[in-house]
């Protein structure tokens, strides 16, 4: 159970089922048993369009189009002003980089974003999510493949974005999840443990093992 505006972290090694579990929420997969409720509505009973309009996802592999940076940020949102796009880029810690480019927001992005670094692509995805303004956020290990400075920028961006939203954070690194309201530890497709950082540290189990290994 996730309460409104809570941060729920999913921790576990590669292949433990974190992303698969989260993909049930926007119905990329359908649950074969049980049910998922949002505000007491079964997600099977609402349209995919309305369900996904309320869920923002920042994935590890960000899909970008061969178009301008501005058009890529605005993708999925309608009737936006340039100022709204700029404001989203500022919150996502991307605006300063864009202003260094000769053509600014009109700079053309190569296919799949090859002209941008991994951190820049992820910050662009964060800006895109800000414009959609969803009440539910899924952040899929969005700092896993970036350097320390970029990780700090992404963390600053995410801190502003998650305020007031129910947020699910998928992570391999414990440093990402320590401050979550609830930590769910996944192992081999199952929930192995759940609790806060302090609660889980008091118990023997996979969380304590990850803590000792990483920190």
CA dihedral over 183, 35, 158, 15, signed as positive or negative: positive
- Residues constituting the chain: 215
Instruction: Specify which residues 24 forms β-bridges with.
Output: none
The pLDDT profile of the chain, 215 residues, written as one tens digit per residue, is 999 999 999 998 888 999 899 999 999 999 899 999 999 999 999 999 999 999 998 877 788 888 999 999 998 787 889 999 999 999 888 999 999 998 999 999 876 556 788 788 888 988 998 888 899 999 886 555 566 777 777 777 777 788 889 999 998 777 778 889 999 999 999 999 999 999 999 999 999 988 888 87
HSE, CB side, 13 Å, CA atoms: give it for residue 95. 12
Q: Tabulate helix, strand, coil % of the chain (nearest 5).
A: 40, 20, 40
What are 39-70's pLDDT values in tens digits?
999 999 999 999 999 999 887 778 888 899 99
The token pair that represents 167 in the structure block: 């947020």
Asked whether 88 and 161 are in contact (CB, 8 A), the reply is: no
The DSSP annotation for 197-213 comes to HHHHHTS-SHHHHHHHH
CA distance 152 to 146: 10
pTM: 0.85
The token pair that represents 142 in the structure block: 């969005």
């Amino acid at each position: 159970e996730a309460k409104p505006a809570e941060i729920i972290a999913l921790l576990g090694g590669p292949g433990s089922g974190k992303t698969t579990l989260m993909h049930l929420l926007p119905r990329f997969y359908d649950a074969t048993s049980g049910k998922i409720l949002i505000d007491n509505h079964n997600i099977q009973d609402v349209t995919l369009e309305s369900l996904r309009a309320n869920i923002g996802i920042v994935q590890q592999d960000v899909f970008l189009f061969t178009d301008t940076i501005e058009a890529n940020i605005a993708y999925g949102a309608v009737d936006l002003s340039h100022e709204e796009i700029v404001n989203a880029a500022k919150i996502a810690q991307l605006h300063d980089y864009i202003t260094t480019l000769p053509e600014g927001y009109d700079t053309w992005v190569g296919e799949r974003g090859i002209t941008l670094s991994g951190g820049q692509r992820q910050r662009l995805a964060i800006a895109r999510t800000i414009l959609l303004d969803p009440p539910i956020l899924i952040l899929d290990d969005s700092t896993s493949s970036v350097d320390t400075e970029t990780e700090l920028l992404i963390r600053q961006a995410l801190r502003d974005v998650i305020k007031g939203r129910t947020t699910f954070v998928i992570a391999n690194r414990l440093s990402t999840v320590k401050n979550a309201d609830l930590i769910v530890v996944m192992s081999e497709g199952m929930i192995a443990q759940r609790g806060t950082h302090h609660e889980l540290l008091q118990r023997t189990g996979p969380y304590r093992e990850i803590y000792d290994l990483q920190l």
